[in-house]
Amino acid sequence: MTQDVTAADTRVPLTVMDNHDPELLRELMEAVERVAETGAFTGGSFVERFESAFASYCEATYAIGVSSGTEALILALRALEIEPGDEVIVPANSFVATAEAVWLAGGRPRFADVDPDTQLMTPGTLERAYDPRVRGVIPVHLFGRTADMHGIMALTREWGIWVVEDSAQAHGARYAGRPVGTWGDAGTFSFYPAKNLGAWGDAGAVVTGRADVAERIRLLRSHGEQPRYHHRMIGTTGRLDALQAAVLERKLERLENWNSQRRRIAESLHEAASGLEHIALPPRPEAPADHVYHQFVVRAEQRDALRAHLDSAGIATGLHYPVPIHRSDAFRAFAPEHDVAPVATRLAGEICSLPMFPGMSDSQIERVADALLEFVP
């Protein structure tokens, strides 16, 4: 094992998984065992218990467990009765699933640019992307930072279009004190293992205050079936597994603590590495915004040199994301010839994600901060 290796000899990882915490691992193994003993692997009490715990955590009326964050988006759009060819505005700077879901639900993504500092779609970039064919918008609380929901909701109300908040990276973040996911018509979450709340495989959820949307998602995730073998609408296999629900229910109890640790780590990095000349740290959130630091993303003009420097200092880094969605091979055809999101394009060449995970030690934080301070492009 690593006990006899000093901290300086080991690399600082970008993130760690549950196998890193023996006590948690044991608790989750027990939860998995209890599900296995019941033999009920789809639906049932484990799924219902997690749904109700997650709804109350999000201060939402309904939470519906589904098979992934992508499926959560697709089912939310379908429940909102998206029609073939409907345009939906998504930020150009997000994980590709935000745009994929629009296409998979029959719509067409329309890309909005982002703010260079927060890296988020803003009311301003949303307004520039708007067109009367647009039927909905998917703001993304990217990296755990909350989008300007006051401004975005004001515009979408004026336009009479729906809002689905992609909260896959922001479980537990609050904008103006109100949890993400509850501002629009629906909010979607991913429990991919590396997310702030992660399952032991793929899983997701939709939260909503609308009874009609909740009911349609419940039907859609399981073949539109009600009662058994009577299919009221064309659905899919999009359910949350009982095993994942049992794991998630236990981990949800720790989420507030984990998010606090992420915020504390971000603050320590800000304090220890202030006054950098060649690296911009992610700006601290200003009220009413919040940040749960799914990723701690810095920017540097000499980004590749920074990554090489950190690598040689034994510090792992990531790129979220190296290609903005509108310039990817998959989605190029949906964006006009001229670059509709030049800021997102420029950011892709400047961003660098640093290690960020609950349990990151003071010495690991110090090593990251020191390496940042030592960087000379």
Ligand X SMILES: *Cc1c(COP(=O)(O)O)cnc(C)c1O
Chain residues that interact with ligand X, rule: CB under 6 A: 68-70, 94-95, 97-98, 140, 166, 168-169, 190, 192, 202, 204
Pairwise CA distance, residues 20 & 357, whole Å: 11
Tell which residue, 171, 188, 169, 176, has the closest CA to residue 152. 176
Q: How far is CA 269 from CA 15, 50, 57, in A?
A: 16, 34, 28
Joined together, the tokens standing for residue 298 give 């810095």
Q: Identify which of residues 273 and 297 has a Cβ nearer to ligand X in the complex.
A: 297
Pairwise CA distance, residues 355 & 72, whole Å: 28
Q: Identify which of residues 73 and 161 has a Cβ nearer to ligand X in the complex.
A: 73
Q: Identify which of residues 148 and 202 has a Cβ nearer to ligand X in the complex.
A: 202
Count Cβ neighbours within 10 Å for each residue of 177-200 and write b for 16 or more, e otherwise. Answer: eebbbbbbbbbbbbbbeebbbbbb
Pairwise CA distance, residues 145 & 167, whole Å: 10
Q: Identify which of residues 199 and 369 has a Cβ nearer to ligand X in the complex.
A: 199
In the complex, the smallest distance separating the C-beta of residue 180 from ligand X, rounded to whole angstroms, is 12
In the complex, the smallest distance separating the C-beta of residue 170 from ligand X, rounded to whole angstroms, is 9
Tell which residue, 245, 212, 225, has the closest CA to residue 47. 245
Pairwise CA distance, residues 12 & 251, whole Å: 24
Q: Identify which of residues 193 and 314 has a Cβ nearer to ligand X in the complex.
A: 193
Nearest residue to the partner ligand X, using Cβ:
69
In the complex, the smallest distance separating the C-beta of residue 167 from ligand X, rounded to whole angstroms, is 8
Q: Identify which of residues 98 and 122 has a Cβ nearer to ligand X in the complex.
A: 98
In the complex, the smallest distance separating the C-beta of residue 321 from ligand X, rounded to whole angstroms, is 10
Instruction: Give 119-159 as a 3 state SS string.
Output: CCCCHHHHHHHCCCCEEEECCECHHHECCCHHHHHHHHHHH
Q: Identify which of residues 69 and 273 has a Cβ nearer to ligand X in the complex.
A: 69
Pairwise CA distance, residues 94 & 92, whole Å: 6
Is 323 exposed, middle or buried (CB count within 10 Å of its CB: 0-12, 13-18, 19+)? middle
Cα end-to-end span (Å), the chain: 36
Please tell me whether residue 190 adopts helix, strand or coil conformation.
Answer: strand
In the complex, the smallest distance separating the C-beta of residue 199 from ligand X, rounded to whole angstroms, is 9
In the complex, the smallest distance separating the C-beta of residue 349 from ligand X, rounded to whole angstroms, is 20
In the complex, the smallest distance separating the C-beta of residue 311 from ligand X, rounded to whole angstroms, is 24
Q: Identify which of residues 140 and 147 has a Cβ nearer to ligand X in the complex.
A: 140
Q: How far is CA 367 from the centre of its chain?
A: 27
In the complex, the smallest distance separating the C-beta of residue 82 from ligand X, rounded to whole angstroms, is 17
Contacting residues for 263 by C-beta, under 8 A, at least 6 apart: 291, 292, 293
In the complex, the smallest distance separating the C-beta of residue 119 from ligand X, rounded to whole angstroms, is 12
Q: Identify which of residues 203 and 265 has a Cβ nearer to ligand X in the complex.
A: 203
